[in-house]
Structure 1
Amino acid sequence: MSKTRFARYNIGQVIRHRLYAMRGVIFDVDTSFAGTDGEPPADGTSAGLVYRLFADDDEIPYVASIAEHDLEPDDSGEPVRHPGIGTMFEVGEAGNYRWRRHALN
């Protein structure tokens, strides 16, 4: 029997890596990731969740897949600079990211 897992973060949310200088905007959550790198969090509720995000690290933009326990919210208000963001998200007046109603081609 599989356990129900709840994502801690939302699509369009800006997050940062808790150890490295990397920030990003979440565009997908993989709930089926088996995970082999490290131990799950002590609470056990979010083991195995991996977030895919448009990321930047002050050098180059890239797409990253990062385990939930390695992330934390980013409340800096600074925009994330990645060319893929504009194809999936609109930027709101408050700097938040929300899904585009229609994909850009």
Structure 2
Amino acid sequence: MRKTRFARYNIGQVIRHRVYAMRGVIFDVDTSFAGTDGQPVPDGTAADLVYRLFAEDDEVPYVACIAEHDLEPDDSGEPVGHPSLGAMFEIGEAGGYRRHRRALN
């Protein structure tokens, strides 16, 4: 039986990579890859969540899939300039991103 994991980061949260000059906005959390690579993560377990994000670096915007242990919060307050953000998110009061509210018929 698998142990229940809770995501450390939230949809719409701005994060950055711990090593590389990359930052982005999370749009999905994927548990299907958790622990499949068998590599231990910093807390000693073999399970890890994978986040999908609208990412950018110094050259180009792209979509990335990054393991939770490779990410950390980005508290710079700088907006993320990925062109796909507007289709899914609006900017919140605190500078973060929140999903568009959809009108229900």
Report the TM-score range of the alignment, normalised by the length of the smaller protein: 0.7 to 0.9
TM-score by length of 1: 0.88
Question: Which residue identity lines up with residue 86 of structure 1 in the other structure?
Answer: G
Moved over 6 A (4+): none
Compute the RMSD of aligned alpha carbons: 1.9
Aligned to 1:82: 82
Aligned to 2:98: 98
Shift in alpha-carbon separation, 1:37–1:2, aligned structure 2, 3 A: closer
Shift of 1:66: 0.1
Q: Mark the runs of 5 or more structure 1 residues left unpaired by the alignment.
A: none
What does the per-residue CA deviation read over 1:64-105, in whole Å, with 9 as the maximum and x for residues that have no partner?
Answer: 0000000000000000110111000001233110010139xx
TM-score by length of 2: 0.88
For 2:59 and 2:36, the matched residues in 1 are separated by 28
Aligned to 2:42: 41
What does the per-residue CA deviation read over 1:30-81, in whole Å, with 9 as the maximum and x for residues that have no partner?
Answer: 012143274223253x822000000000210000000000000000000011
Q: Percent identity?
A: 75
Q: Mark the runs of 5 or more structure 2 residues left unpaired by the alignment.
A: none
Question: Which residue identity lines up with residue 9 of structure 1 in the other structure?
Answer: Y
